[in-house]
A = this chain, B = another copy of it.
């Protein structure tokens, strides 16, 4: 089954209104002043990583491509804009036929990034590019924040399995995107069925305390679960007394019991006790899954505990302290007139206050040291630095309005794991620090 054939659980007929009003009013003013058709280059980048983070993770690019394809103003949306008097008639006519026809380059999804990295570059007329600002930033800022947290958790977990189970802690559709971003960052599965449906991410489930409480005894509950779901199921053992529950669980399911889940208490201590008890009962193959407000630090602190898998919710879907990135979408160059042959000139905000940017169309490459380890993010205006062409980071995503870089999510996930492995070893430290690569403007 191809999940794309089934569409989204939430169908997305149009992404055009995921847009700040000023994008449309700027369009209107530019159409009137004759500047709307000036060729323009917009770039997405961050001025900084979240405090203490050593690298960023590009996630959401695939969703941006979906959003660009579905950015259409149908009659219902145009009626709304007209009735609310948000834009004038010429602008409504222009919007009715809107299709992005420009080019988009960017870091491939899953790559790591650093301050200044040109994560996405959108090129076309001012009018067609400016409209994409809000939705592109929504997606990249959200998804990259989740992927960065996931990547750190995946480092902390070593080779142990990570289950994304944060749906209940974030917006119901942000949850679907979070499961996708978590998978890119190294998670193995999700509890979110919509994410399984939409993105074919492996889904898993255990059981809740409610199921135990529904039954007249824990024994009844365990028997019901094993009868229905088989001995390979995961039984939740902390509703009443953990030791008693583990005994009952093995008594009912036998040593073939798949796993037990511990969701409260001192996980380090309880995991050791439960492992010992399982082993004594002969259930040496039964795995231990721990959950309960885990973050990358809690995961790391359980490295020596006999834990087989971590279920992570709240801290994952809230980006472990950094629920968004500070990516911006800035005009960096534009032509001097609406003539398509007119030359581009670099532009940049010049005011005081720290929000300046560097004009001109950027390229980027990652320079490696003699051992093949990344040592710098090199950014160049208008051309790739000589000698670094083979380490160029930007790829073509959209050409003349057509998406040219669709890829399976597993490829994105593998790219992330490889990109992270290419960083200096200090990238894996969970403690606060500086970005592990300096950004050099050449």
Residues of chain A having any CB pair with chain B under 8 Å: 1, 3, 6-7, 9-26, 28-33, 35, 38, 40, 42, 67, 76-77, 79-81, 83-84, 86, 88, 126, 130, 133-135, 137-139, 141-143, 165, 167-177, 191-194, 196-197, 203-211, 213-216, 220, 223-225, 227-229, 233, 238-242, 263-266, 292, 314, 317-319, 323-324, 326, 329-331, 334, 336, 347-355
Give 4 nearest A-B pairs by CB, closest first: A264-B353, A21-B205, A33-B224, A22-B205
Question: Which residues on the B side are within 8 Å of A88 (C-beta)?
Answer: 228
A224 and B13 form a contact (CB under 8 A) = no
A190 to nearest B CB, angstroms?
8
Determine how close the nearest CB of chain B comes to the CB of A374; give it in whole angstroms: 29
Kindly list chain B residues whose C-beta atoms are within 8 Å of the C-beta of A25. 205, 207, 228-229, 233
Q: Do the beta carbons of A14 and B18 come within 8 Å of each other?
A: no
Is the beta-carbon distance between A210 and B42 smaller than 8 angstroms? yes
Across the interface, which residues of B come within 8 angstroms of A233, CB to CB? 25
CB contacts (< 8 Å) of A330 on chain B: these are 209-210
Residue from the list B17, B21, B210, B240 in contact with A26, Cβ < 8 A: B210
Q: Beyond A35-B224, A264-B351, is A174–B142 a contact (Cβ under 8 Å)?
A: yes
- C-alpha gap A229/B22 in the complex (Å): 11
Measured between beta carbons, the chain B residues less than 8 angstroms from A314 are 324, 326
**Residue of B19, B84, B324, B353 touching A238 (CB-CB under 8 A):** B353
Closest to A264 in B: B353
- Determine the chain B residues whose CB is within 8 A of the CB of A22 once the complex forms: 191, 205-208
Question: In the complex, what residue of chain B is closest to A15 when comparing beta carbons?
Answer: B172
Roughly how many angstroms separate A23 CA and B204 CA in the complex, as a whole number?
Answer: 11
Contact present for A351 and B241 (CB under 8 Å)? yes
Copies in the complex: 2
Contact, CB under 8 Å: B351 / A138 = no
CB-CB under 8 A from A139, the residues of chain B are 171-172
What is the minimal beta-carbon distance from A301 to any residue of chain B, in angstroms? Answer: 16
* Minimum Cβ distance to chain B for residue A230 (Å): 10
| Inter-chain contact A215/B324, CB cutoff 8 Å | no
19 contacting pairs across A/B (C-beta < 8 A): A6-B80, A20-B165, A20-B205, A21-B191, A21-B204, A21-B205, A23-B205, A24-B193, A28-B228, A80-B196, A133-B168, A139-B172, A141-B168, A171-B173, A213-B349, A264-B351, A264-B355, A266-B353, A292-B353
Q: Is B351 in contact with A171, judged by CB distance below 8 angstroms?
A: no
Point out the residues of chain B lying under 8 angstroms from A224, CB to CB: 29-30, 32-33, 35
Asked whether, in the complex, the Cβ of A228 is within 8 Å of the Cβ of B32, the reply is yes
- From B7, B214, B292, give the contact of A30 (CB < 8 A): B214
Residues of B within 8 A of A241 (CB): 351
Shortest C-beta distance, A248 to chain B (Å), equals 14
B331 touches A213 (CB 8 A): yes
Interchain nearest-CB distance for A203 vs B (Å): 5
Decide: A167 and B214 in contact? CB cutoff 8 A.
no
- Are the CB atoms of A138 and B191 closer together than 8 Å? no
Do B211 and A347 touch across chains, with their CB atoms under 8 A apart? no
Contact A196 B6 (CB under 8 A): no
Cβ contact of A331, chosen from B1, B209, B225, B331, cutoff 8 A? B209
A407 to B: closest C-beta gap in Å: 21
In the assembled complex, how far is the CB of residue A234 from the closest CB belonging to chain B, in whole angstroms? 9
| Chain B residue nearest in CB terms to A60 | B171
Pairwise interchain contact B334-A214, C-beta atoms closer than 8 A: yes
Residue from the list B16, B210, B348, B351 in contact with A130, Cβ < 8 A? B210
Q: Which residues of B contact A24 (CB under 8 A)?
A: 193, 205
The CA of A11 and the CA of B214, in the complex, are separated in Å by: 35
Residues of B within 8 A of A347 (CB): 213-214
CB distance from A285 to the nearest CB of B (A): 21
Cβ of A209: which chain B residues have Cβ within 8 Å of it?
Answer: 330-331, 349
Note all chain B residues with C-beta closer than 8 A to A42.
210
Pairwise interchain contact A170-B174, C-beta atoms closer than 8 A: yes
Residue of B32, B40, B167, B173 near A134 (CB, 8 A) is: B167
A32 to chain B, nearest CB (A): 4
**Which of A20, A30, A38 gathers the greatest number of chain B CB atoms within 10 Å?**
A20
Contact B32 A227 (CB under 8 A): yes
